[in-house]
Amino acid sequence: MFRGFYTVASGMLAQQRRTEMLTNNMSNNNTPGFKADQSAMRAFPELLLQRFEQQKIPTENGLTLPFSNTVGSVNTGVYMQEAIPKFIQGDLRETGSNTDVGLLDINIPATEDGTTGSVFFTVRQEDGTLRYTRNGGFTLDGQGFLTTGAGRYVLSDGGNPIQLSSDRFTISENGIVTGENGETARLGIGFANDPRRLIKEGDGLFRTEDGNPLPNAYNENGIQFKMQQGYLEQSNVDVSKTMTDMLTAYRAFEANQKVLQAYDRSMEKAANEIGRIG
């Protein structure tokens, strides 16, 4: 009976966390470059139950032998193992802003296991560590450096910040940045062969597991992509599907809640009526 309490409670917690994940997706529907999360639900490891007993052997010394009988397996519930970002290309929306850059996947071959890679803008944190993003909503700081909205430096393919003399610059489809006074640089684009291994952070940023930089996407054979100035990639959140999934998660939570209430009534009856001495 008590095992049922734990199983139902684990189901409620899993659906609660799934609802929180879907709510976060919905709230970032209008965030440029946002990649929606999808949940991976998994059952806890099954337990094999055995009953241990002893059998007395009618001998002169009274020998006792232990033995066990297999009762069977029991599942201990479910949990949300992880939230995995979905790296599907978002729609590009024209903004008309010179500092906005949309990153468009053209041809990125899948690996043998069917995983499709992804390309990212390379930016640098204040502590010097690298991060990767699909949000091309850039701006120029007071010194003319191309930065993200949060002030992180946008890096060139050589790993250096890009400094411009004014906001009148152009970005070609192959990432060449040309300033008003002729200064040039090339946007640094990293390629993740398996983007699922990237660690998602806040503000649309990703980092590698080991802290090493991603390979230069320009040097990868068979990878085709382009930049579009004056455009922004929108989030890839499917609003209608997310709403449906939220409703499904709520119904599952509600069903587990009703089972929990039934267990509670059964325990109350066992304590108050079955155990009563007439």
- Per residue in 30-55, pLDDT (tens digit) is 999 999 999 888 776 666 666 777 66
79 or 116, greater pLDDT: 116
Domain presence at residue 238: no
How many other C-beta atoms can be found within 10 angstroms of the C-beta atom of residue 251? 11
Residues 65 and 151 in one domain: no
pLDDT of residue 73: 66
pLDDT over 80 (residue 273)? no
Q: Are residues 205 and 164 in the same domain?
A: yes
Residues 142 and 99 in one domain: yes
> Does 220 reside within a domain?
yes
Question: Are 112 and 226 members of one domain?
Answer: yes
Cα 145 to Cα 151: distance, rounded to the nearest angstrom: 9
- Counting the structural domains of the chain, the total is 2
pLDDT band at 94 (very low <50, low <70, confident <90, very high): very high
pLDDT tier for residue 275 given thresholds of 50, 70 and 90: low
For helices 2-27 and 239-269, the axis angle rounded to 10 degrees is: 160
Q: What is the pLDDT of residues 154-171, one digit of tens each?
A: 999 999 999 998 888 999
CA distance 140 to 163: 9
Q: Quote the CA–CA distance of 8 and 13 in Å, as a whole number.
A: 9
Same domain, 95 and 226: yes
Residue 125: burial class (beta carbons within 10 Å; 0-12, 13-18, 19+): middle
Does residue 116 share a domain with residue 14? no
Q: Is there a single domain that holds both residue 93 and residue 67?
A: no
- Pair (126, 221) in one structural domain: yes
Contact 194, 115 (CB under 8 A): yes
In a domain, 164, yes or no: yes
User: What is the per-residue pLDDT for 267?
Assistant: 79
Q: Please check whether residues 69 and 100 belong to one and the same domain.
A: no
**pLDDT above 90: residue 237:** yes
Does 45 map to a domain? yes
User: Phi first, then psi: what are they for 178, rounded to 5°?
Assistant: -120, 120
- Both 27 and 96 in one domain: the answer is no
Residue 60 lies in a domain: yes
pTM to 2 decimals?
0.80
Tell whether 18 and 138 lie within a shared domain.
Answer: no
Pairing state of beta strands 92-94 and 231-233?
antiparallel
Q: Residue 163's domain spans which residues?
A: 89-233
Q: Are residues 61 and 24 in the same domain?
A: yes
Inform me whether the pLDDT recorded for 278 exceeds 60. Answer: no
Q: Decide if pLDDT at 277 tops 60.
A: no
